[in-house]
Structures are given as C-alpha cells and as structure tokens.
Amino acid sequence: MSTMSDSPAVCCLDDLGLLSFRGPDTRKFLQGQLSNDTGKLLPGALLRTGLHTPQGRTLAVLALISGPLDAATPGAAADEEVLAVLPRELIVITAATLRRYVLRAKVAISDRSASHRIYGVVAAAAPDGLPAAGSYPYDGLRALVIRRTEAPAPPGEALARTRWRALDIAAGLPQLYLPTSGQFVAQMLNLDQVGAIAFDKGCYTGQEVIARAHYRGRVKRRMQRFVSHSPLHLVAGDARQLGDGRSLRVIEAVQREDGRCEFLAVTALPGAAAEPDPTAPPTTPAAAAARIEATALPLPYPLE
C-alpha cells in the first residue's frame, strides 16, 4: 500500500452478499449448524466460521456480524439479527441448506444482498483511520463496511478487486465458490488456523469428523500459498499438479502485474505421506503437461 496516499483505499465487493438470520432462536440455531462459537460474536466484531456437511466437508465460509444493520429495522428490538457475509453465488444454496435444519426454531432466513452493499476498506497507517459507522475489523489494517445500497461509498481511493483478493491470499484467508463448495474438510482450508472453528463448543453439523481430524492429527493436505514461475491464469476450482508431482486444487488466485499467478491451493504438505486425493486430475500425458512450476510462499500462521 506504499504507493497510496494517507487516505484509506476502498474496494466495492459486489460479488459478496448478505444472509440475514432473525428471531429469538437465532444464535442457538446457528450454534448448532456452524463451526465457530456464536457466543463469541460481539457488536461491531466479525466472526469467521464454516457451514459443513455431516461428513465435515465445508460448504461455505462465512463472516458473521451482529445486527441489526439499520436502527430503523422493523422488529429489531424484539428479535436478534445475525448477518453472514459470503459470495453471492453461494447465497441460495447456503440458505436452502440451513432452512432444512430450522424445524421448530424461531428463526427466519432471508437474503439482504439487494438492500446493502459491502465494501472492503484498507487504512493507510492505523486501524483508527477506518470508518466508524458500519465498520467491522477484517484483518490487520482492513475492515468490511456495510451500507445501504442507496448510501454513498466510504470515502477513499478506489482499490481494485484483484488487489483486495491479493491481500486475502497473503493473509491466508480461504473462500469457497461453487466449484469448490463441499470439496474439503475444514482443516484442509486452514479454518482452524484463522479462528473459524471452536473445538470446545457443543455439537454442530460435521463436528464429529472435524474434531476427529483435529485430535488425531491426520490432516496431511492443507491450503498453501504459491506463486508461479511464469505467466499463468488460474481460477478457483482448477485442478493441477506441481512440478514435484503433488496434485492441487486452487482455492483463490490472482495474477500479478508481470503475469505470474499468486494463489492459494489445497495440496499435500511437503514430506507428508502420499494419500488418495479425490480432487486430483487424472494421470494422463495431458495432465503431466499441465504441471506448473511454482514457489511456496509463507503464510502468517503455522501449518501442522
């Protein structure tokens, strides 16, 4: 960010949407479905969590915030509201999955993506340079700002979506999209390393598999960060092989100015014993030709 002025940088995250959960049973309901402890969700804070299948596969990575977003929201005083930020392309399937578990719980699930817009804001020097209203700390000097669609964007210099994505990659923050939803156990996405799993909470969907992987230490495939040696275009869901033969599945990717690709991908940890990978491309001459030479880059947290 050294090329920018002292003003914050603002990125319009139009590919992200909002799911609203409202009702007296909201937190109890989410506590039984998501991998983090909703009791830790405080006003003005952001809580990362995951929605999983009974087999522990992650369907969506969510950023929870405590509502209501608008003081004038009808019923806000009587019914608690929690909102989830996630890619718009997963809104429908995520809402449908969670509605199957509502049963008698007093909670309503609705899509509020059309009424609000999400911005990513990067402070120039210190977090206190971020907007105060509707701002939720995201990572380091970054925050999410949520405003009604008709409201003006937060003041600041425009930041490209690819630049925000590059910051996510450097921070090792996973995101899922339609091609990767349901493909990985939570720890393969490093959800345990980014504070998205509470191992001391009660049961939730997928908890048994996720806890077993944690306590038995059997996760040999993890999301790792790489940069290609030559110009390359990758997108989430691409299945490739590294030069050393390890298969990988791309989680997030962005092209640098020189054309090289920086990306997050799930692959075997260096030195880990080989194990079957259901997401690996077939072993064919074409697959071998598609191998990519890339250098591993550090993440801001350790991998087991």
CB distance 121 to 143 below 8 Å: yes
Average pLDDT over residues 167-194: 97
Phi, psi at residue 223, to the nearest 5°? -70, 125
User: 181 or 284: which carries more pLDDT confidence?
Assistant: 181
Per residue in 76-100, pLDDT tens? 444 689 999 999 999 999 999 999 9
- For residue 1, pLDDT over 50 is answered with no
CB distance 193 to 239 below 8 Å: no
Q: What pLDDT is recorded for position 80?
A: 86
Structure tokens at 166: 């590059």
Q: How many CA atoms lie within 13 A of 287 on its CB side?
A: 14
Per residue in 4-16, pLDDT tens? 457 899 999 999 9
- For residue 282, pLDDT over 60 is answered with no
- For residue 17, pLDDT over 70 is answered with yes
Its sign, for the CA torsion 180, 183, 186, 189, is: negative
Its sign, for the CA torsion 29, 190, 144, 123, is: positive
CB distance 127 to 141 below 8 Å: yes
Percent of the chain surpassing pLDDT 70: 86
Per residue in 243-266, pLDDT tens? 999 999 999 999 999 999 999 999
Residue 137 CB coordination number (10 Å): 14
CB distance 220 to 275 below 8 Å: yes
Instruction: List Cα–Cα distances, 170 to 98, 175, 181, 299, in angstroms.
Output: 31, 13, 21, 7
* Residues 123, 125: Cα–Cα separation, whole Å: 6
* Residues 21, 112: Cα–Cα separation, whole Å: 10
CB distance 63 to 45 below 8 Å: no
